[in-house]
């Protein structure tokens, strides 16, 4: 099971262990192949981003008290059946004065530090990036004490922090690395004028 606390709060996401589909009546060669999820473009109701996701994600929302004031955290999670992976997008709008007065790189560094602390993880890699429309971002990869690997891209735009993440086991990370990269690359900010 994959469990991760998000950088901006105490939300838990778990990727389920695949259920065994072994049948005593059929030889192994005739067992049906696992059904692959159908990837579709997902756009949330506020239409601030779009991303390819395996099926329709589940949405949750939380109000969190922080040192900057109250923020609403929106969370979208897709977990394909028979895979040990979770695809997650979170977004939160900062109080106006914080977003206007704080350097985007500082916000990204704080989000990275919070992610590593709350998940008790070790940083594997990090790099500064930009969104497809030029907003500052950061990509981090980290591993928690249970061996779960998270690859996260974070972007700051128009007073919001966006995080697009894939969390998986070491075992499935190698087989899903191309899929995870495609998922992360599909994320696009669709900002309002």
**What's 71's domain CATH number?**
3.40.1000.10
In a domain, 78, yes or no: yes
Model pTM score: 0.80
Q: With contact defined as beta carbons under 8 Å apart, do 11 and 93 qualify?
A: no
In a domain, 117, yes or no: yes
Q: Is 79 helix (H, G, I), strand (E, B) or coil?
A: coil
In a domain, 88, yes or no: yes
Q: How many CB atoms lie within 10 A of CB 40?
A: 12
**How far, rounded to the nearest angstrom, does the alpha carbon of residue 165 sit from its chain's CA centroid?**
2
In a domain, 16, yes or no: no
Q: Locate 8 and state its tokens.
A: 């901006």
- For residues 88-115, one letter each, b for 16 or more C-beta atoms within 10 angstroms of the residue's C-beta and e for the rest, the string is bbbbbbbeeeebeeeebeebbeebbeeb
- List the domain range (segments joined by +) for residue 78: 4-11+43-189
pLDDT of residue 20: 43
In a domain, 54, yes or no: yes
In a domain, 76, yes or no: yes
Could you read off the pLDDT of 20-35 as tens digits, one per residue? 444 444 444 333 445 5
pLDDT of residue 113: 94
Beta-strand runs (E) in the chain: 4-5, 12-13, 39-42, 49-54, 58-66, 69-78, 85-93, 121-130, 136-144, 148-157, 160-169, 188-189
In a domain, 116, yes or no: yes
In a domain, 96, yes or no: yes
| Count of domains for the chain | 1
Could you read off the pLDDT of 107-151 as tens digits, one per residue? 999 999 989 998 999 999 999 999 998 999 999 999 998 899 999
């Amino acid at each position: 099971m994959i469990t991760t606390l998000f950088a901006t709060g105490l939300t838990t996401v778990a990727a389920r262990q695949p259920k065994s589909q072994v049948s005593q009546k059929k030889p192994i060669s005739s067992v049906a192949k696992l059904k692959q999820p159908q990837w579709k473009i997902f756009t949330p109701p506020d239409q601030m981003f779009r991303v390819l996701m395996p099926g329709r994600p589940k949405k949750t929302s939380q109000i969190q008290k922080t040192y900057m004031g109250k923020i609403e955290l929106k969370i979208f999670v897709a977990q394909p059946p028979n895979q040990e992976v979770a695809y997650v997008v979170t977004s939160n709008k900062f109080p106006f004065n914080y977003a206007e007065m704080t350097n985007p790189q500082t916000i990204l560094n704080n989000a990275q530090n919070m992610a590593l602390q709350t998940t008790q993880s070790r940083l594997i890699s990090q790099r500064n990036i930009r969104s497809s429309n030029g907003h500052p971002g950061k990509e981090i990869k980290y591993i928690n004490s249970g061996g779960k690997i998270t690859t996260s891209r974070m972007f700051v735009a128009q007073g919001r922090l966006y995080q697009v993440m894939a969390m998986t086991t070491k075992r499935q990370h190698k087989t899903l690395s191309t899929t995870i990269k495609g998922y992360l690359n599909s994320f696009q900010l669709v900002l309002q004028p």
